[in-house]
Amino acid sequence: MSTNYYSDLQLMHGATGNRGWRPIRLFDRNYYCLQYNHAGTIQVKIDDQPEQTVQGPSLLITGPGHRFVFGSADGWHHNYIAFSGPRVKRYIETGLLPINQPLHSIEDSQAFFTQFEVCVNSFKANALPQACHALEGLLVQLQRQPARREEPHPVHEVRELAEAMRTNPAQDFDLEKEAAKIHISLAHLRRVFRQQIGSPPGHYLQQCRLSAAADLLASTRDPVKQIAEECRLGGVHYFTRIFRNQYGQPPARFRSEMLGE
């Protein structure tokens, strides 16, 4: 027995279980798509809005009239189903497809993923009524999920952290704890730090420690090994290598030139 109940809804393509390794760019496509990240952390940029970091199971609704860039070079569990047709307009008008809130956290991720698999597998088996029914089931499940709140952009706090690194470079900075203090994720802290300071926090801290070591070399007779330890720059061989990369010469020669020897 066949039915034309879903004749006003076209499923176009879909997949589950993809392992994404690079960002996906969608510019003003003429269809809608549920982009489900079942595991991993992704970065999402919509039009000219600030980039957001999304951790864990989450859904991004992509569609016409917007530019989307999303994904991660670290790998993520990408699933998607694309669709179009007159019925989609009713989804939007009734709020079943909340395109004005494109990012959602998925709390019951296993149930959502199972429904996603039913939808995509039915589509691939050409069982279109079952696939369309499963798609509507996904949209119903989405109604029970919270709209994702964008993480704050703590510019002041990040600049304070950078200043603390500059003035106390030998301190042991735990970035996970620093992120927890200002109620953001570690990935978001690193992203905001790089945007505001110009380099990742780990690299910036190393530059601050090298600067402190250069000051000590130019103003004291302390042994190179002692300076490396005080500035948290590892052993003499490692310190010499990264110091040469930064200043173009090893610590001993740098000291000689600075002291006019």
70 is a domain residue: yes
Q: How many CB atoms lie within 10 A of CB 6?
A: 18
In this structure, are 190 and 242 located in the same domain? yes
The helix/strand/coil state of 72 is coil
d(C-alpha 90, C-alpha 97), whole Å = 9
Cβ-based neighbours of 142, under 8 Å, separated by 6 or more: 59, 98, 104
Cβ atoms within 10 Å of 211's Cβ, excluding its own = 14
CA distance linking residue 89 with residue 173, whole number of Å: 51
The pairing of beta strand 41-46 with beta strand 24-27:
unpaired
Domain boundary among 105, 120, 143: 143
What is the b/e burial string over 65-104, where b = at least 16 CB atoms within 10 angstroms of the residue's CB?
Answer: ebebebbbeeebbbbbbbbbbebbeebeeeeebbbeebbb
* Residue 64 belongs to some domain of the structure: yes
Same domain, 131 and 170: no
Residues 69-117 have pLDDT tens digits of 999 877 889 999 999 999 999 999 999 999 988 999 898 999 999 999 9
Residue 125 lies in a domain: yes
Pull the structure tokens for residue 61: 């609704």
Residues 15 and 101 in one domain: yes
Residue 217 sits in a domain whose CATH number is 1.10.10.60
Which residues lie below 8 Å from residue 54, measured CB to CB, with a gap of 6+? Answer: 37, 41, 42, 43, 44, 60, 103, 148
Same domain (yes/no): 86, 197: no
Instruction: Summarize pLDDT for 203-251 with one digit per residue, the tens.
Output: 999 999 999 999 999 999 999 999 999 999 999 999 999 999 999 999 9
Rounded to 5 degrees, φ, ψ at 223 are: -60, 150
Q: Residue 247 is part of which domain span?
A: 155-258
Could you tell me the CATH number of the domain that includes residue 90? 2.60.120.280
pLDDT-derived band at 253, boundaries 50, 70, 90: very high
Out of 48-52, 54-58, 239-243, give the one with best mean pLDDT. Answer: 239-243
Instruction: Report if residue 123 sits inside a domain.
Output: yes
Q: Does the pLDDT value for residue 200 go beyond 90?
A: yes
Q: How many domains does the chain have?
A: 2
Last residue of a domain, one of 110, 143, 176: 143
* Separation between Cα atoms, residue 229 and residue 232, nearest integer Å: 5
Among the three residues 113, 143, 173, which one is the final residue of a domain in this structure? 143
Same domain, 218 and 96: no
Q: 194 and 120 share a domain?
A: no
**pLDDT value at 1 more than 60:** no
